[in-house]
Amino acid sequence: MTTDVSQFIDVDRGEIQGEIFHSAAIYEQELERIWARSWVFLAHDSMIPKKGDFLQTYIGEDPVVVVRQKDGGVRAFLNQCRHRGMRICRADRGNAKAFMCSFHGWVYDTAGNLIDVPHEETAYNPETFDKSDWGPRQVARLEEYRGFWFGTWDAEAPSLLDYLGDMAWYFDAHFDRYANGYEAIAVHKWVIEANWKLNAEQPASDMYHGDVSHASAKQVMGIGPTKEREGHQFSGTFGHGTGWWDLGGNTKRESVGDDWVAQNHDQVVERVGERRADGIRGHANIFPNFMFLHNGTIRVTHPRGPGEFEVWAWTMVPSDAPAEFKEEIRKKVLRTFSPGGIFEQDDAENWVEEQRIMRGFMARRSPLVYTMRMGDAKRDQNNLPGLTVDHPYADEGSRGMYRHYVDMMSAESWAQVIEAKVSRGEPVTYREIGLEGIAR
Amino acid sequence: MTAVAETSQVAVLAAAPGAVASADLHLTHELATFLYLEADLLDDWRFDDWFALLATDLDYWAPTRENRTFRERRHETAPRGGAAYFEENHADMAQRIDRLKTHMAWAEEPPSRTRHLITNVRAFTTEKVDEFAVNSSFLVYRTRSERDEDQILGQRRDLLRRVDTPAGFEIVRREIRFDQATLLIKNLSAFF
């Protein structure tokens, strides 16, 4: 039995019922239809630089090991021994030549091939037992974009590039700025008792919360309330969203990296163009759970039941930046967006209270209003690729996220998801876009 | 065969950065009493009075922990310059306390009720006659709102300096080790 989630989500009216944040049945359906089918961020190149370097992460609730191979490639597989279902790798990260299951001693190489079974000759029939049949489940598709590795369990998923679509152009504003890319220098992990979508829709769409939710942090940091100015919001076919303010407005703060940034400005312009060198960067979510901010924070949220998620947040810095600039970014992120960060603390408070209130039947069946700037979105306007709205105070990113969510939750297969999008005239393939956006 | 026949003097001092020798009963009592005073101030929301206990050259640091194999255990606690929950100087702490006074720091508005339990106090003299290395364990229990409840445990590794104030000491250095790799609480809005 599947639940028709469209009864709770009316994107055309901009109304969503909190049932989707609360229901255990919907959550189980998400594990199958969202998490076992979507492209999910697994690791950045810098997190596993050397052969044998591994980390363990998750696609939804499923644990995955990601390992750098001898040939420089990357493999990812379910962190589950095929013998009795035990977790194979039990360290968060490290370096390994092989992984041995600590239950009965089955050994897997770094590519996830079963290479040794204790007492194989006496315990198993050699005519029917073949080790090559019993490696852990491989992540079906593993693709990389700008050093960021994504995986999906569904072999029928569109390519990662098609899945990103125009979002790739916005992503590049954050992470294609320097020839030597970015590196992860810190990670924080913590648990928040709220539904994963409450976090995801925020960077996809919600610039509107900043002044009030983060009033205290902005005040003591001397930033002050946002000066409204030109800004935009983008909503992608596959549920991605991003929003930003253009240049100007809040007080520019001095940084030890100012000189380095100025020296490298030409390089950035050459790579991403004037517009993305200086603007476009705000907050963003690649559906379902890969989020990034202009300040160097990237995060995934792993769902843990309808009412809980784990945040894994890394700090990213330009690899070639001077050490003192990397230090400044590292410290700034930990003081603002780690679990003790003066911005982050207050977000959790909102999500936890929202989640708790959704226990009430009336609370979760009373439509919530997602109508901000409804009807204003236009495709390829202002040289911006894809569907955008001329203001970051908009719910277009959320509406796009939930439109895609309904597609995924309703469809039996990726083919049906694509069909739904094509029938609405939405682009479903990647296209090359110039440095300055869409030339008209 | 046991690896070590008896606990060496090196082992006694190793866990406390800067420790030279164990403090005597009186000094240990003085230092422990200071920690309890600090706990009371925090639990009574007297954050300005608590802030007055922080040295101007404060170094307040809480590295992250992660699950690593025993072979790679040296990486279990993040090093200086790595991931941390707090890495604060005196001005940073002032900013955190000022934030609470905006009345819009929603994670603490209305404020949480906390109880700082401080145990396992071991105190040591250091190379400097007026500075003392003090290790202690903490359990910070918190309730807020109608029925929020959580707690976190860990260890402090402090350097305290004797000063001529009613409190008698100030906090020069505090290393906080939370005993969780994935933090199982929604935020660290309290002070530790």
DSSP string, A301-319: EEE-STT-EEEEEEEEEET
What is the CATH number assigned to the segment(s) A40-143?
A: 2.102.10.10
The dihedral built from the CA positions of residue A36, A40, A44 and A47, taken in this order, carries a sign that is negative
**A304 Cβ under 8 Å from any chain B Cβ:** no
CA B87 remoteness from chain centre: 12
Look at strands A40-44 and A148-152 and give their pairing: antiparallel
Q: Which of B87, B100, B107 sits opposite A334 (nearest CB)?
A: B87
Confidence category of residue B13, pLDDT binned at 50, 70, 90? confident
Q: Which of B66, B72, B189 sits opposite A345 (nearest CB)?
A: B189
User: Whole-angstrom Cα distance, residue A15 to residue A13?
Assistant: 6
Cβ-Cβ pairs closer than 8 A, A with B, add up to 121
**Position B88 pLDDT exceeds 70:** yes
pLDDT at B10: 78
Instruction: Locate A379 and state its tokens.
Output: 């495709």
Cα separations in angstroms, B4 against B10, B15, B71: 12, 17, 19
Residues of A in contact with B98 (CB under 8 A): 220
Find tokens 């007055």 and name the residue.
B52
**A431 Cβ under 8 Å from any chain B Cβ:** no
Query: CB count, 10 Å around CB of B81?
Result: 15
For residue A277, the distance in angstroms to the closest alpha carbon of chain B comes to 28
Find tokens 């596993």 and name the residue.
A48
Find tokens 């003392």 and name the residue.
B132
User: Whole-angstrom Cα distance, residue B84 to residue A338?
Assistant: 8
Instruction: Locate A129 and state its tokens.
Output: 């037992």
Q: Evaluate whether A53 touches A93 at the Cβ level (below 8 Å).
A: yes
Half-sphere exposure of A292 (CA within 13 A, CB side): 21
Instruction: Locate B158 and state its tokens.
Output: 């402090």
The radius of gyration of chain B from alpha carbons, rounded to an integer in Å, stands at: 18
- Tens-digit pLDDT string for chain A (440 aa): 899 999 999 999 999 999 999 999 999 999 999 999 999 999 999 999 999 999 999 999 999 999 999 999 999 999 999 999 999 999 999 999 999 999 999 999 999 999 999 999 999 999 999 999 999 999 999 999 999 999 999 999 999 999 999 999 999 999 999 999 999 999 999 999 999 999 999 999 999 999 999 999 999 998 888 888 889 999 999 999 999 998 765 666 789 999 999 999 999 999 999 999 988 999 999 999 999 999 999 999 999 999 999 999 999 999 999 999 999 999 999 999 999 999 999 999 999 999 999 999 999 999 999 999 999 999 999 999 999 999 999 999 999 999 999 999 999 999 999 999 999 999 999 999 999 898 75
For residue B163, the distance in angstroms to the closest alpha carbon of chain A comes to 29
**Position B12 pLDDT exceeds 90:** no
CB contact under 8 A, B104 and A215: yes
DSSP string, B117-182: EEEEEEEEE-SSTTEEEEEEEEEEEEEETTTEEEEEEEEEEEEEEE-SSTT-EEEEEEEEEES-SS
pLDDT at B1: 46
Q: What pTM was computed for the model?
A: 0.96
CB contact under 8 A, B99 and A217: yes
Residue A39's SS3 state is coil
**Position B174 pLDDT exceeds 70:** yes
**A120 Cβ under 8 Å from any chain B Cβ:** no
CB contact under 8 A, A91 and B69: yes
CB contact under 8 A, A350 and B106: yes
Closest CA in chain A for residue B147: A356
Q: Which of B66, B72, B85 sits opposite A338 (nearest CB)?
A: B85
User: Whole-angstrom Cα distance, residue A2 to residue A120?
Assistant: 42
CB contact under 8 A, B82 and A310: no
Closest CA in chain B for residue A342: B96
Instruction: Locate A428 and state its tokens.
Output: 């479903």
Fold for B20-178, please state it.
Nuclear Transport Factor 2; Chain: A, (3.10.450)
Give the contacts of A376 (CB within 8 A, at least 6 positions apart): A389, A390, A391, A394, A396
Closest CA in chain B for residue A56: B67
Cα separations in angstroms, B165 against B33, B89, B161, B170, B191: 14, 21, 11, 9, 22
Output DSSP code: residue B65: B
Residues of B in contact with A186 (CB under 8 A): 64, 78, 82-84
pLDDT at A249: 59
Domain ranges (residues) in chain B = 20-178
Which homologous superfamily does the CATH classification assign to the domain defined by A5-38+165-423?
Answer: Naphthalene 1,2-dioxygenase Alpha Subunit; Chain A, domain 1 (3.90.380.10)
Instruction: Locate A340 and state its tokens.
Output: 């003790």
User: Whole-angstrom Cα distance, residue A290 to residue A306?
Assistant: 18
Supply the mean pLDDT for chain B. Answer: 94
pLDDT at A225: 83
**Position B3 pLDDT exceeds 60:** no
Find which of B51, B61, B99 to mutate to test the A interface (most A CBs within 10 Å of its CB).
B99
**A350 Cβ under 8 Å from any chain B Cβ:** yes
Find tokens 């974009």 and name the residue.
A145
Q: Evaluate whether B139 touches B149 at the Cβ level (below 8 Å).
A: no
Q: Which of B88, B106, B148 sits opposite A346 (nearest CB)?
A: B106
User: Whole-angstrom Cα distance, residue A198 to residue B82?
Assistant: 29
Nearest C-alpha neighbor of B105 from the set B37, B47, B62:
B47
For residue A302, the distance in angstroms to the closest alpha carbon of chain B comes to 12
**Contacts made by residues A5-9, CB under 8 angstroms, sequence distance 24+:** A5/A29, A5/A405, A5/A406, A5/A409, A5/A410, A6/A406, A6/A410, A9/A402, A9/A405, A9/A406
Query: CB count, 10 Å around CB of A194?
Result: 25
Cα separations in angstroms, A85 against A69, A76, A101, A406, B11: 24, 17, 10, 32, 41
Q: Which of A185, A191, A215 sits opposite B184 (nearest CB)?
A: A191
